[in-house]
Structures are given as C-alpha cells and as structure tokens.
Structure 1
Amino acid sequence: MIHIDTHAHVFSKHDQCIETARYIPDYDATAEQFLTHLDKHGHTHGVLVQPSFFGTDNQVMLDAISQYPERLKGIAVVDRGISFNELSQLKTKGIIGARINLFGLPVPDFTLPEWTAFFSNLEQVNFQIELHAPPAYLVQVLPVLNNFKLDIVIDHFGRCVPDLGVKDPDYEKFLDLLDVSKHWIKVSGFYRLGAYPENIATAKESYALLKNKGFLGKMVWGSDWPHTQHENLVDYEKTVEAFQQIVPEAEEQELILGQNAAKLFHF
C-alpha cells in the first residue's frame, strides 16, 4: 500500500542560502530525519520541494534523492530560461516538476515570451508546475496557465488569507477558476492559514468546498515538514493529527494519501 507525503524540505544550517533569502534556517532537516517520520506514520514515499532560501540551486535536494531514489522524488526551483535539455537532466535525477513561489514577489506576466517558452518546455518534459501564491495572485495567473497541458498543483489549499478565510472574494474567484481536469490541491500547511484553532476551521471549510467542486480525486497531502518559520507551533505528529481532523473519513484519507498522490507523482 502506497502512502505519500507530497511536501517536505531538506537542508542543513551549513548550506549556502541566497543573499535575498527572507528566512535562513539555523538547524538541520535531513533526508534521514524525514524518512524516520515517514516510517513512523506508515508513509512509503515522499516528495521533496525546493525551499525558497536556496533559490535555483537544487543540489541539496538532488543529493537527498540520490541517496533514496526508490522513496523520494523532487520539485525543483529553476530559472525560467532553463533549457529543455537541462530539464530533461533534472528528470533523470528524480525531479518531476517545477515550483513557482510568488510570496514576496510581484505578480509575473506569464504571457511574456520567456514564460511561455518555459511552460512549453515543462509541457514537453512532462513536468508539473507547483504554485505557491496568495489567492489574489492565483486568480491572475491561473487563466494564462490554462493554455498549457500541465498538471497545475496549488500549495496549501490556495493559501487563504488568515483574516478573510474562504470568504475572501479572491479566494471565491480562485475556487470558481478551478478545473478538475487541470488542477490539483495540496491539503497541507494548515498552520499557514491563521492561528489555531481558526486555521483548522478554515482548512475544513476549504476542504469541504473543494470536495463539493469534485476535487476529492485531485487532492494530495503534505506535511510541509520541517514547518519552516512555524517550528515552535507544529511538528510532524500535529500535521498528521490535523489531516485526520480536516479529512475525518478514512476512505477519503486513503484516496488522498494513496491513489491520488501516486497518480500525480508517478510512484
């Protein structure tokens, strides 16, 4: 039985971070530690996601995947000018998609030639695109991405604004834009949606809305380990407990952890 944690990060406090990093960790989060968590909770596989503080240098993640190629895959952060051949090389090393993290950045114009060429290359190499952005950004960029045959994976429920939750007009518009044939949602990062217990309530509301839109077969779970910038509030166990609160039905948990994730990440 396959169970997949689709969102985690690895790094050490000695790794080189980019100069513009908004956050720099002062501790280690190793692949071995991650696998210990997976084993404890009966998860067979994991997906590593490139953290923003490493920029486009994916080597730490690639090294981790190379140690455990049967259990780990990765989502890279790359420059939009990357070539098809370079993407193909990453694919041979266990990378299956590219992440665009728009927090702290202006909304990009995805209609520019360099972006359309980038998305075309992702399409040809059969990579997914993972978006980490607030609802106000998602409503601007999702329509443009509809022009490409890409699996579009949206982080952390679509990152509801804490004070507004699912009633945010931008979040409501985001939900309206979702297309079950194109989009996937990560049931993850609940603690980034506001303070406890309101964040659990928001995640439950979001999950119910997504399920009502027919997305039960297009949601996957991620621990977001090691919970950067929220390490003092949450640990792996709490993310598992939160998932069970947000998705109380055992059959739905199984679908999200197993069949959905295995399909999206090609395990």
Structure 2
Amino acid sequence: MFTMEKLETDASLRRDARRPASVGSVDTHAHVFERGLPLTRQRRYAPDYDAPLDTYLAQLDAHGISHGVLVQPSFLGTDCSYLLDALRRAPERLRGVAVIGRECAKDTLTEMADAGVAGIRLNLIGHADLPLDHWVSGQTLAHVRELRWHVEVHAEAARLQGIVEPLLEAGLNVVVDHFGRPDPDLGVRDAGFRRLLELAHTQRVWVKISAAYRNWCGLRTGDDDMHEAVRLLKAAFGLSRLMWGSDWPHTQYEAQEHFAHTLELLCALLPDGEERNAVLADTAARLYMFDDGHQVSA
C-alpha cells in the first residue's frame, strides 16, 4: 500500500474526511457517477458500475490525499446535477470542473461557482475539429473569465494549438489534460506535444500529469518516453504549472489501473520530494481556489 510518509503529507489531514485542516495534496482529476443517471447521446463509453462520492473520498483518505477535483464525465454531458450535489456534500474538500452548453447564462455559472466549480471542460476527443465558437460562445467565455475560472481542454496533441490559442486570445487560463494526449505511437516526438511546450511562455497554460495509460501502451514506471515527457514539461512549464490527477476510477482502464499505482507512478516520475509536493499541492491549491476561503452559499 502506498504510504502517507512517502508522499510526505501530514497525518493530521485525515482527522476529518470532509474538512481537512489544510491543503496538503490535491488529486486534480477524478470522476463520480452512478448507474441510472441520464447519459448524453453522443458518448464513446458508459460504465456499468457505480463510482460514488463516498468511495472516492475513501480513496483519498486511504492514500493521504487531502483534497480532490471532480471533473464532469463526458458520458453525462452537460447535466452537472450529480457533480454539483457531490461538491455540496464536501465543500471544503472538493472543487469541480463542469461541462456546459455553448450558451450558458451567468446566473447558472454563478450557481455552479457557489457549489465549488472552478472551471469548465472541453472534452473534444472523438469530436470533429471545429472552431472554438462551435463549442462555447464568446459571451459564455466572458462569464467564465469574470468568475476567474479556467478552461480545461481534453484533445489530441495534434489539435491542441488550434483550441488553446483562441482561448488564450479570449483572456482565459487553460488546463491541458493528461500530458497533452500525445499520439501513443509518437510519444514526445508528436509535433502537437512539441507545440504544447511552446505555449508555456504564455504563463497561462497548465498541464495535468495524469492518465499516463491513455498515452503510453504497455505502461511501466520506467518507461523512458514517459520520463522524457515529464522532463520536457518541467523544463518548459516549471513545477508551478504542472499538477497531478489520479483519473479515478480510470474509466475504460478499470481492470488494470488503481489509485495507488497512479501515486507510485508520480513518485517514479518526480522522485524529488520537494518537486512532488509542489505538483501535488501548491499549484492546485491556487488554481482551484482552495486557498481563497471559498464557502458554499447557505
């Protein structure tokens, strides 16, 4: 079992499963859901099991992780009611990333902010390569910017530049999912991944070191290409713009992945404890507004 000592977190963080004393470590990418929820018609996959909040919080506790970020699953579409309910059940421990329609009223977004949402997600894997305005309007992006939210982008590395640059031009901060999703056959040689590195100079792009198994086939902790990807991301973005996520419950990879392994992999990729703690806590605490006294409205 992965130990709290190895992560260098404070055991006191486990005093209260829902109200930890401080931000010691953050899992910036997880999903919660149950069977029977309404599914979007355009979906690549739908799980046949439950991944409820209590089970996720138990994973955090078992591995000494103080806080978590719940990301709306793609198969639930823009109906974020289950996500918002989960956030309201653990307001000081959780933040959320929502999926919204192209036009989303400011009042709706503000209600989401009150529940703990800190950003929106564009999950464009498997979708046509269309202009940004097809997915989210300029007016909606303006509301997102006013709330100090970010836009999380999940797309193949080859498409990232065409998605991220318009968001930056609109004044948004951007989080890129899962190492930037380089082509598994190309790895760090993927030209799209190299262009992602060039976006680091904007100082408004963050990258999640998460779901490595979606990029590297036959994943091993010693995979040279994966280590090279982290080295390049560190050199370009610095530790202050990298974050870790478990991708729990590892949809489509449930049979071969588990929470502890994602932490073991992080330690292999970032063996230096100070570097690892910077990625685990400092950056995520700021970006997801854990450190601004956020409280859910009564």
Q: Same fold (TM over 0.5)?
A: yes
Asked if 1 retains the 8 angstrom alpha-carbon contact of 2:206 and 2:237, the reply is: no
Asked if 1 retains the 8 angstrom alpha-carbon contact of 2:101 and 2:135, the reply is: no
Matched, 1:240 2:295: no
Q: 2:115 aligns with which of 90, 93, 116?
A: 93
Q: 1:228 aligns with which of 251, 254, 270?
A: 251
For 2:97, the aligned partner's letter is I
For residues 79-99 of structure 1, give each alpha carbon's deviation from its aligned partner in whole angstroms, at most 9, with x where no partner exists.
020012211111111111100
Mapping of 1:200-239 within 5 angstroms? Answer: 200-239=223-262
Asked if 2 retains the 8 angstrom alpha-carbon contact of 1:110 and 1:116, the reply is: no
Matched, 1:160 2:205: no
Asked if 1 retains the 8 angstrom alpha-carbon contact of 2:167 and 2:173, the reply is: no
* Number of residue pairs matched by the alignment: 267
How far apart, CA to CA, are the structure 2 residues paired with 1:180 and 1:120?
19
**The 10-residue stretch of structure 1 (153-162 or 12-21) with the greater mean CA deviation from structure 2:** 12-21
Q: 1:133 aligns with which of 136, 146, 155?
A: 155
How far apart, CA to CA, are the structure 1 residues paired with 2:135 and 2:208?
29
Asked if 2 retains the 8 angstrom alpha-carbon contact of 1:123 and 1:150, the reply is: yes
Asked if 2 retains the 8 angstrom alpha-carbon contact of 1:84 and 1:125, the reply is: no
For 2:175, the aligned partner's letter is V
For residues 56-90 of structure 1, give each alpha carbon's deviation from its aligned partner in whole angstroms, at most 9, with x where no partner exists.
00111111111111111110000020012211111
Cα root mean square deviation, aligned: 1.7
Return the offset for 1:180.
5.0
Return the offset for 1:127.
1.3
Counterpart position of 1:47: 69
Secondary structure at 2:152 match in 1:
strand
For 2:75, the aligned partner's letter is F
Q: 1:250 aligns with which of 270, 273, 278?
A: 273
Secondary structure at 2:34 match in 1:
coil
**The 10-residue stretch of structure 1 (199-208 or 226-235) with the greater mean CA deviation from structure 2:** 199-208
Misfit runs of 4+, over 6 Å: none
Matched, 1:38 2:60: yes
How far apart, CA to CA, are the structure 1 residues paired with 2:127 and 2:225?
25
Q: 1:82 aligns with which of 104, 119, 129?
A: 104
TM-score for the superposition, normalised by structure 1 = 0.95
Gap regions ≥5 residues in structure 1: none
**The 10-residue stretch of structure 1 (112-121 or 180-189) with the greater mean CA deviation from structure 2:** 112-121
TM-score for the superposition, normalised by structure 2 = 0.85
For residues 12-34 of structure 1, give each alpha carbon's deviation from its aligned partner in whole angstroms, at most 9, with x where no partner exists.
12222122221111111111111
Q: Residues 251 and 111 of structure 1: is their aligned pair in 2 closer, same or farther, counting only changes over 3 Å? A: same
Q: How high is the sequence identity, in percent, across the aligned residues?
A: 37
Counterpart position of 2:8: none
How far apart, CA to CA, are the structure 1 residues paired with 2:27 and 2:194?
27
Gap regions ≥5 residues in structure 2: 1-21, 291-298
Asked if 2 retains the 8 angstrom alpha-carbon contact of 1:186 and 1:219, the reply is: yes
For 1:145, the aligned partner's letter is L
Secondary structure at 1:230 match in 2:
coil
Secondary structure at 1:81 match in 2:
coil
For 1:95, the aligned partner's letter is V
Q: Residues 118 and 201 of structure 1: is their aligned pair in 2 closer, same or farther, counting only changes over 3 Å? A: farther
Return the offset for 1:114.
5.9
Secondary structure at 1:86 match in 2:
helix
Return the offset for 1:203.
2.7
